[in-house]
Amino acid sequence: MTLLDIRDLEVTYRSARGDVPAVRGVNLRLRPGETLGIAGESGCGKSTLALALLRLLPASASVRGEIRLDGEEVLGMSWGRLRAVRWAGTSIVFQGAMHALNPVHRIGRQIAEPILLHEKVSEAGARQRAEELLSQVGLPGWRARSYPHELSGGQRQRVMIAMALACSPRLIVADEATTALDVMIQAQVLDLIAGLVAERDIGLLMISHDLSVLSSTCARLAVMYAGRVVEEGPAHQVFADPRHPYSRALASAFPTIGDPATRGQPRGLGGDPPDPTALPSGCAFHPRCPVVLPECSSTQVDLVPAGPERVAACVRVDTAARSTP
């Protein structure tokens, strides 16, 4: 059974400057217990995608396509059903979510809030659950009585993860959930998330600009550029042997320590991400592409097979790789 099924998703923001296409036809699938990473830079549409999953987009956004959670269509859901699905079916942890905590309420009460709203439990029962959740994310139960300012950034981010788990969702969406944290705290939080996913058989959709973090946490990886998925496949393969020139540039921006080829050779990509209101013709990446061909400015490239369980949207993906079983 597919947990999350996104088909031909398109999101366009209507603005005074005209229509801004943020997501331009994305297809993704996730089964329970699976982990999928979505990589890309600012403005590639990855956060818009996360918001679209629970219809959290502003009214200026028009959404087309299909999003199914556990087989249920999200875009046509009634508001009542949608409220039930938020938290209980799917929960999202955002970047800087630790700033989302209410400074004047104790954290135990804040964790108990969604439990009280979604389930028939007593206040004492909810409080009890809140303490259990805190211990699951590695914080002592007495921390439930603390106020947010008494916790460090890493601890607050753990509280947000505890809240995301409060109603036992089937899917967790983590949007740059560890970006603001120190390396060691990030490692603790990632370890925690990986453990919970394995233990509870939930799905994880993790969104980040950091390809190296995604490749070490997720089984599969999708790379987005200008609102489209340009490559998808097993995470380690996409990171170690990318097929799309953009994935290659992104991967080489994270040097492998100990690899002499990357020592003293910082690599990046010339140019800047495209303006979504004026996307280049053909392949949107062609103005920055180091291996551009003449046809790239006119040919719109779709995802094609690029090896076992891999797809990439580039005219250079050779036919040999396509036919490999």
Partner 1 sequence: MSKRSPSPVLSARGLEVDFRVRGGRRARAVDGVNLDLAPGEILALAGESGCGKTTLARTLLGLVRPSAGQVEYAGRPLAYSTGALKSYRRAVQLVLQDPTGALNPRHTVYEAVAEGLRIHGISDNERDRVAEALARCGLRPPERFFLAYPHELSGGQRQRVVIAGALVLEPKVIIADEPVASLDASVRGEILALLLRLREEFGLAALVVTHDLGLAWSIADRLAVMYLGRIVESGPTEQVLTNPRHPYTQALVSVLPDSPVDRSIILSGEPPDVTRIPAGCRFHPRCHELASGAAEQAGVAEACRRTPLPVLGTDPTDGAPAVACHLHAARLTPTADSPK
Q: Given the rule CB under 8 A, which residues bind partner 1?
A: 41-42, 138, 152-155, 182-188, 191, 209-213, 215-216, 239, 249-250, 252-259, 262-270, 272-273
Q: Quote the least distance from Cβ 28 to partner 1, whole Å.
A: 21
Residue 25 or 138 having the CB closest to partner 1: 138
Residues 6+ apart with CB under 8 A from 227: 21, 22, 23, 24, 25, 26, 44, 45, 276, 284
C-alpha 166/C-alpha 267 separation (Å) is 42
- 71 vs 264, which CB is nearer to partner 1? 264
Q: Is 250 or 311 the residue whose CB approaches partner 1 more closely?
A: 250
> In the block, which residue shows the tokens 């947990």?
3
Q: Answer yes or no: are the C-beta atoms of 296 and 286 closer than 8 Å.
A: yes
- For residue 258, the minimal CB distance to partner 1 (Å) is 4
- Smallest gap from Cβ 88 to partner 1, in A, equals 31
Residue placing its CB nearer to partner 1 in the complex, 94 or 239: 239
Which C-beta is closer to partner 1: that of 277 or that of 298?
277
From the CB of 246, what's the least distance to partner 1, in Å? 8
What is 236-275 written as a DSSP string?
HHHHHS-SSHHHHHHHHTSPPTT-GGGTT-----SS-PPP
The two three-digit tokens of residue 162, written as one number: 């505890």
Shortest Å distance, C-beta 266 to partner 1: 4
Helix (H) or strand (E) holding 195: helix 183-200
